[in-house]
Homo-oligomer: A and B are copies of this chain.
Amino acid sequence: MNTLGNRLKLTTFGESHGVAIGGILDGCPAGIDLDMDAIQMELNRRKPGQSKLVTQRKEADEVKFLSGIFEGKTTGTSIGFIIENTTQRSNDYEHIKDVFRPSHADYTYQQKYGHRDYRGGGRSSARETANWVVAGAIAKQIIPQIQIHAFTSSVGAIFIDKPYQDLDFSLTESNDVRCPDAASAQKMESLILDIKKQGDTIGGTITCVAQHIPVGLGEPIFNKLQAELAKAMLSINAVKGFEYGAGFCAAQMKGSEHNDAFNANGTTKTNLSGGIQGGISNGMDIYFRVAFKPVATLMQTQEALDTQGNLVEMKGKGRHDACVVPRAVPIVEALTALVLADFYLQR
Contact = CB atoms under 8 A, between A and B. Distances in A.
Interface of A: 1-4, 9, 11-15, 18-24, 26-27, 30-31, 64-68, 70-71, 73-80, 82, 100, 102-105, 107-109, 111-117, 122-124, 128, 154, 156-157, 195, 200-205, 215-216, 218-224, 226-235, 237, 240-248, 250-266, 268, 272-274, 276-282, 291-298, 300, 302-305, 309-311
Contacts of A253: 156, 202-203, 293-294
A179 to B, nearest CB: 14
> Which of A13, A76, A277, A281 counts the most chain B CB atoms within 10 A?
A13
Contact of A250 (B24, B79, B266, B291): B291
25 contacts: A1-B27, A1-B222, A14-B78, A15-B70, A20-B80, A30-B116, A71-B115, A82-B82, A104-B277, A108-B278, A111-B216, A111-B282, A200-B254, A224-B234, A229-B234, A240-B246, A240-B248, A240-B250, A241-B244, A241-B251, A250-B291, A256-B300, A262-B303, A262-B305, A264-B309
B259 A204 contact: no
A243 B108 contact: no
A180 to B, nearest CB: 18
A104 B282 CA distance: 11
> Which of A100, A222, A237 counts the most chain B CB atoms within 10 A?
A222
A26 B14 contact: no
Nearest to A70: B117
A236 to B, nearest CB: 9
A294 B123 contact: no
Contacts of A67: 13-15, 18-21, 123
Contact of A124 (B112, B220, B295, B303): B220
A224 B235 contact: yes
A262 B311 contact: yes
